[in-house]
Structure 1
Amino acid sequence: MTRRKVIDKYFFSINSRYYEVILNGVNAKKKDEKYVQNCNPILTSMTFSGKQNATEICKEFKILYELLSTYGKEETRIEDTFSYYDCDFLNYWLNNKLRENVNDGLINVKEFYEQIISNNKEFFSKHEELGNHIYIIDPEILENMKLLYKLYVNAVKIINIVYDKDYKPDERENEEQVIVSQENEARNSEAQESEAQKSEAQENQQQEKEEHKPCSYYAEQLDENYKEAMDRCFNSNDDFYNSLKYFKDSYKIITEPSSNKSDACNSIEFYYFPEYDGVLEKKANAIKISSTLLVLSFALPLIYK
């Protein structure tokens, strides 16, 4: 599989629901020591200062790679290849991890990937084509990708709530009690847990809490992310704008009231999605200004005759 034109570089986000399942699997396997093999040391020119070091990112990348290779399949054949979307997601994930954990954002994605491969040749032997899709993503484009990915994640969560007749969001009091209980538990076990273990526990707690958020929470997140994404189109090319329009056309149904009276999402409101379009507004304002100037150019000579 060869590198494509970048016109569809954002489209891996369409499969966000699938990738979220895969990432949950990564979290579940983090403690398996077999994935640390050949990840220590990782020789790289980068300096890590974030929550995760090179060894931890290498370990997670191996788990992610393995799950994408085998999820939903009894066994991946040697001639099987990743989809373009899978390759784009792996590149996005690796870029994002390095940006979050490397000093000053001075990342070298290709160097890091090749070091992992060099240390784990047999493990990565089934998908040699992946290397053609690993490259540094421009920071602005990476931010666009993160926003679009979040949009798909929240849209799918809203749809799942709509069709889940038994969905009951936690009451605020119950949620606060859960938070307090979790904080106390974390403090009690602080002496026994390492920093990495505490970070993982907090991440799992946050995921558990968010599973029971009301529909309005996801709607608010989607609404804010949509406006921010649209506003970023002023500094992006048409690819991102077209990807946002595709998302809007695919999921604007979530803004329509459901016939199901017990639907937990019936009362949600959107202020920006799907109507807000900063690009069109800017074009419309430009046309108005041009029209005004044109009228003035004809009117002024008549006034001073």
Structure 2
Amino acid sequence: MVAQPLALNLVKSTMLIFNTIDKIRDHLKHTTQTGKTVALVPTMGALHNGHMRLVKEAVKQADHVVASIFVNPTQFNNAADLEKYPRTVDADLKLLESHGCHAVFAPSEQEVYPEKPSISIRFGSLESELEGKFRPGHFSGVGLVVSKLLNIVNPDFAFFGQKDLQQFFVIKALVEQLNFKTQLRMVPIERETSGLAMSSRNMRLSEADRAEASLIHKALTQSKNRLLRGDSVQSVKNQVTELFKSSDRFTLEYFEVIDTSDFKPLESINYKENTALCIAAEIGQVRLIDNLMLIS
């Protein structure tokens, strides 16, 4: 398909949309020949202000910004979760255009995976802790699609959100060990006024569930404050467990204090700069994750 400008009401757009690997590569070949730097913002669509913060940072740091929109099936270990994932392509394109994105790569599943993948990427302990433990195969799927995107776009920079903290460190290992030239940038979490981390999954929350979901951020901030004043990791974990037991809507999946070098749970804190508080909980059949670094 030939690249085409996005048609927006009232605004004439110069953002180009590409659906095939050959076309985006051809476009970027001409872009890089002029000496421009390229940034990639990988997304699965259903965009919100958290994604736009990534785009804004990319626009600041690179000459040419490419966003990808692709709901990657290989990172879903739950077929129902994949089916329910929000798809809002028209709104996504308008948001990207209004925030200065230059090009969008929005391929079909067939374009990215013409055949069922026969390879997998393993990440050692990084893929077996926290999210990896509760979502088997998830990070292998993330590694596969990010490898493809980095190979297709060959960006100078790639921007990811801190909300998916473990994912960022998995991708960091991927980039370092496979010698991609791309420099990674982790952008802080964008939050709603209640403190809830912005997520595409929030679209599936009822009004009542959304109000209750602020409990996640409350648990994280209280725990961070307690750890910084010297309370033990175990006592903080116990308090979070009790806090979620008091909620009729929430089911706590995990709350852990981890070292970002391996994401293994800590019993005590040695290096505050590498310590993060990570949480996953389900409300209204919507699974939410969040985190705070102990030292911001």
Confirm or deny a common fold (TM above 0.5). Answer: no
As a proportion of its length, which structure holds more strand?
A: 2
TM-score, normalised to structure 2, is 0.28
TM-score by length of 1: 0.27
| Structure with the largest fraction of helix | 1
Tell which structure's C-alpha radius of gyration is larger.
Answer: 1
